[in-house]
Amino acid sequence: MRFLSSFRNDNEDVYRSSFRLFSLWEFFVKEFPASGIIWHLRRIENCLCEIESRYQGEPWDIQKAAVACSLVEMCTERFDIPISKMRAEELKSSILDGTMSSFEDLATELREFLRNVEYELRSHLFLYVSQEQATYYTQPTKGWEKIIERWESTVRDIEEARKCFALNRYAASVFHSLQVIELGLLELGKFIHVVDPQSGWTAITRELEKILKKKYPERSDFEKKHSSFLEQVQATVEALKNAWRNKISHTQGRLTLLSADFTAEITEDILVASRAFMRRLAVEMPSTVSESEQK
C-alpha cells in the first residue's frame, strides 16, 4: 500500500530544471510510506507501555530514556511531520541536558508526542494509489531501460508519463508519451534520410510507406539492407495509430492532443504502443548511417 502526501516536495532538481516542462505534482506530491510510520509509532507505544509498567518509581536512567528518544527521532527523520520533529528534538535536549529527571515525565512526553503526530497527520491530505498502479509510480522507468540507455533525454518524460498514469492524470500521461515519441521520430527521420523541412510524423510515415510500397528489386541497397527493420517499424507505427485513433492529431507533422478525455484503458494502450515503438528504434536502429549508404 502506498500513500502520497500533498505537501511540497523541496527537491532542488525541480528548481535547476528551469527550461523544461514539468508537472505541479513534482512540487506537491511526495511519497509517504505509511507502513513505515505505523511501525515506528507502534514501537514508541510499546516503549511507553514498558516505561509505565516497569519503570514507574525507579531511579532515573538516562540510557533507558535514550532508547525512547532514539525511537522518536527515527519516527520523525523520514517523514514530512516538521512539528513532531521539533517535539522530538526538544525531547532529546531535555533528556541530555538534565531537564527531564523521571520516567513519569518521559511517559508524559511520549504520550504528548504521539498526540502531536496524530494531529499533524490529520492536517495532511493522503491520496491512495492501488497496488497495481503503484509500480508505475515507484518504478517509472521499468521496461523502458533500453530506450533511456540510448536516449537519456527521454527519461524525464518517461517518468512523468508513467507517474501521471499512476495518479489517473491520463491526458498528461499521453502528452508526455508523445514527447518521447517525437524524439524517436526525429531519430527515425535521420535514419531514413527524410528531407522534408517539416520533418515529423506525417513526413516520416509517408517516407516509410513510400519505401515499403516499392517492390524489393526496386529498393535501394540501403532499403534492402534494412527492409526487415523498416517493415517492423511500420507495424509498430500502425499499432500506435490504432491506439490513439480519434484522440491525437498528426496534421502538419505535429502530434497534438485532440481531447483530454482519456480512459485508463486507452492511456495504457498508448503507453504500451509508445514503448514498443521506441524500444524497436532503440534496439534495432543503427546508430549511424552514412549518406552514401542511404543513396
Can you tell me whether residue 5 is helix, strand or coil?
strand
Task: Between 259 and 118, name the one with better pLDDT.
Answer: 118
Is 129 in contact with 4 (CB distance < 8 Å)? yes
User: Taking all residues of the chain, what is their mean pLDDT, rounded to a whole number?
Assistant: 80
Residues 119 and 4 in one domain: yes
User: Is the pLDDT assigned to residue 53 strictly greater than 90?
Assistant: no
Which of 72, 94, 129 is the last residue in one of the domains?
A: 129
Q: Enter the pTM of the model.
A: 0.68
pLDDT, tens digit (0-9, with 9 covering 90-100), for 235-294:
888 888 787 877 777 665 567 777 778 889 989 988 998 999 999 999 999 876 555 455
- Across residues 209-225, what is the average pLDDT? 88
pLDDT at position 288 is 61
Single out the residue of 34, 42, 44 nearest to residue 81, CA to CA: 34
Is 147 in contact with 158 (CB distance < 8 Å)? yes
Residues 80 and 200 in one domain: no
CA distances from 283 to 84, 156, 277, 286 (A): 50, 20, 10, 8
- Domain residues for the domain of 175 are 139-294
Indicate whether 175 belongs to any domain.
Answer: yes
Task: Give dist(CA 158, CA 179) in Å, integer.
Answer: 9
Residues 6 or more apart from 186 whose CB is under 8 A from it?
Answer: 199
Task: Give dist(CA 6, CA 74) in Å, integer.
Answer: 22
Start-end of H helices in 51-130: 62-77, 82-96, 103-122
Is 269 in contact with 215 (CB distance < 8 Å)? no
Residues 166 and 289 in one domain: yes
The dihedral through the CA atoms of 74, 75, 76, 77 has a sign that is: positive
pLDDT at position 54 is 85
Is 180 in contact with 274 (CB distance < 8 Å)? yes
